[in-house]
Amino acid sequence: MKATLKKIPKFKNEEEEAAFWHTHDSAEYVDYSRARKMSFPNLKPSNRSVSIRMPEALLNQLKIQANERGIPYQSLIKQYLYERVYPDQKVGHGG
C-alpha cells in the first residue's frame, strides 16, 4: 500500500468520471487492502432502448424464429447479440 493516497475528485457526471478512470490508476486513490467482497442481489443491469434499421426479410425471419421459440423477437435479437458479443459465456444474462 502506498503511504499517501490521492483524493478522488468530484465529478460533474458519469461520463466525466469514466473519462477520469480511463486515464488514471485506481490504486493511487483506493486502498485495496481494506476491500471486502460485496453482494448486490437486487441490482439489475440498466437497459437502453435503441432503434436499428434492418432489411424487412431479416426482421420477418427473426419474428418467425422467435415465434417458434415462444419468445418476443426483441428478446431473440438480444440473445443473438449477447451470444456474439460474449461467445464464451452462457446465455442467462437476465436481459
One pLDDT digit (tens) per residue for the chain, 95 residues: 446 899 999 999 999 999 999 999 999 999 988 888 888 888 888 888 999 999 999 999 999 999 999 999 999 999 999 999 998 887 555 44
- Cα–Cα distance for residue pair 32/94, rounded to 1 Å: 30
Q: Is residue 11 part of a domain?
A: yes
Residues 58 and 28 reside in one and the same domain: no
Q: Give the pLDDT confidence score for residue 92 in this predicted structure.
A: 55
Q: Is residue 8 part of a domain?
A: yes
Task: Classify 37 in phi/psi space as left (phi over 0), alpha (psi -120 to 50) or beta.
Answer: beta
**Domain around 28:** 1-33
Q: Give the pLDDT confidence score for residue 2 in this predicted structure.
A: 47
- Number of domains composing the chain: 2
DSSP states of 15-74 as a string? Answer: HHHHHHHHHS-GGGT--GGG------TT-------------HHHHHHHHHHHHHHTS-HH
Q: Is residue 39 part of a domain?
A: no
Residues 60 and 87 reside in one and the same domain: yes
Q: Is residue 62 part of a domain?
A: yes
Residues 23 and 61 reside in one and the same domain: no
